[in-house]
């Protein structure tokens, strides 16, 4: 493990030493425009770094019992989709088609990659979807994929969110230790947080897509084998999901592409009034306070979720 960390850190140092030229050669430089808040070209190297770190950890621990080949396949396919999007700016409809295609392949080869049921802690029973399990699974995958990609709009937000989500989901919700894949992603995110904060590189669509694939697979697969309160999962992704729905509705009403870039996201509105640090802290507290409070007070998360809803819409009304 120590050697994996050392080798990964050394590789990251080599990459950032020539980050702009490497980004240019790969065709993944983020050029500033009116819909972006940075002023200089920044390489979108976050995704490649995460994938390389994952590969280093897995190759050096090839006999590790917790390596899941299907999960790595799914993560890699989403990374490739995001990398292609970073290079040529894919139309949103093509991305949705590719996400559905990759997901259907995994559903076909991995039975556990299906949402057969959801569990409600408040009533202590499960609801089974039966013949609707495939469309329900695809719908949930698209929601999380789109929401996470749309939330990547300011430095460190999606990275810090993913760090806390990874820890809270595995430790508090799944009640499990971090496996090799979890640790490799966590290590890369911690390093990327600093690099992104310093504007050395961006996470990019490849990074956002890779992280969405990681959470999608983990949540669906673990739900297949265990009883997980659906509201605990909803609470974590509630704010980015609400913001996605709000923006899609507004853009449709205006006759715009629902997935077009703009600066009307919740995090952009916060950033206009507060510092970057305050914006990220507020976003994280709003996202994770329901699950943390419910764990501390030993009550169902469903009772805490309305507080986040009220705070979100109140804040939007004041900032818009």
Q: Give one DSSP letter per residue of the chain, joined into a string.
A: -HHHHHHHHHHHHHHHHTHHHHHHHHT-EE---TT-S--S-EE--HHHHHHHHHHHHHHHTTT-TT--HHHHHHHHHHHHHHHHHHHH---HHHHHHHHHHHHHHHHHH-TTSS--EEEETTTTEEEE-GGGHHHHHHHHHHHHHHHHHHT--STTHHHHHHHHHHHHIIIIIS-----HHHHHHHHHHHHHHHHHHTTS---HHHHHHHHHHHHHHHHHHHHHHS--BHHHHHHHHHHHHHHHHHHHHHHHHTTS-TT---S-SHHHHHHHHS-HHHHHHHHHHHHHHHHHHHHHHT--GGGTHHHHHHHHHHHHHHH-
Would you kindly state where each structural domain of the chain is located, as residue ranges? 2-319
Angle between helical axes of 276-297 and 230-253 (0-180°, round to 10): 140
* CA 267/CA 295 separation, integer angstroms: 26
* CA 268/CA 151 separation, integer angstroms: 10
- pLDDT band for position 34 (cuts 50, 70, 90): low
C-alpha to C-alpha distances, 297 to 124, 132, 171, 244, 289, nearest whole angstrom: 18, 35, 17, 30, 12
Q: Give per-residue pLDDT as tens, 116-168.
A: 999 998 888 999 999 999 999 999 999 999 999 999 889 999 999 999 999 99
- pLDDT band for position 35 (cuts 50, 70, 90): low
Tell me the chain's radius of gyration from C-alpha atoms: 19
Q: Give per-residue pLDDT as tens, 254-312.
A: 888 888 888 889 999 999 999 999 999 999 999 999 999 999 998 889 999 999 999 99
The rounded percent of the chain whose pLDDT value lies above 90 is 69
pTM for the full predicted model = 0.94
């Amino acid at each position: 493990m120590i050697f994996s960390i050392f080798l990964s850190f050394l590789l990251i140092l080599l990459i950032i030493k020539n980050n702009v030229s490497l980004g240019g050669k790969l065709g993944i430089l983020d050029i500033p425009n009116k819909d972006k808040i940075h002023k200089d070209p920044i390489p979108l190297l976050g995704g490649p770094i995460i994938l390389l770190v994952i590969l280093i950890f897995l190759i050096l621990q090839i006999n590790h019992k917790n390596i899941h080949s299907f999960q790595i396949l799914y993560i890699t396919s989403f990374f490739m989709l995001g990398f292609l999007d970073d290079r040529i700016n894919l139309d949103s409809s093509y991305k949705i088609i590719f996400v559905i295609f990759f997901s259907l392949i995994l559903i076909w080869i991995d039975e556990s990659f299906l949402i057969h049921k959801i569990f409600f802690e408040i009533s202590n029973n499960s609801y089974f979807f039966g013949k609707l399990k495939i469309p329900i699974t695809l719908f949930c995958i698209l929601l999380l994929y789109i929401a996470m990609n749309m939330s990547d709009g300011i430095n460190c937000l999606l990275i810090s969110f993913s760090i806390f989500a990874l820890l809270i989901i595995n430790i508090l919700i799944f009640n499990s230790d971090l496996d090799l894949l979890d640790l490799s992603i966590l290590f890369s995110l911690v390093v990327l947080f600093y690099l992104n904060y310093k504007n050395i590189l961006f996470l990019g669509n490849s990074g956002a897509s890779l992280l969405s694939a990681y959470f999608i697979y983990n949540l669906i697969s673990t739900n297949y084998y265990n009883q997980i309160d659906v509201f605990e999962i909803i609470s974590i992704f509630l704010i980015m999901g609400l913001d996605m729905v709000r923006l899609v509705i507004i853009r449709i009403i205006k006759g715009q592409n629902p997935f077009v870039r703009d600066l009307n996201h919740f995090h952009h509105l916060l950033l206009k009034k507060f510092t970057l640090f305050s914006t990220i802290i507020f976003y994280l507290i709003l996202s994770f306070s329901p699950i943390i409070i419910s764990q501390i007070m030993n009550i169902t998360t469903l009772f805490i979720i309305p507080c986040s809803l009220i705070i979100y819409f109140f804040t939007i009304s004041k900032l818009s």
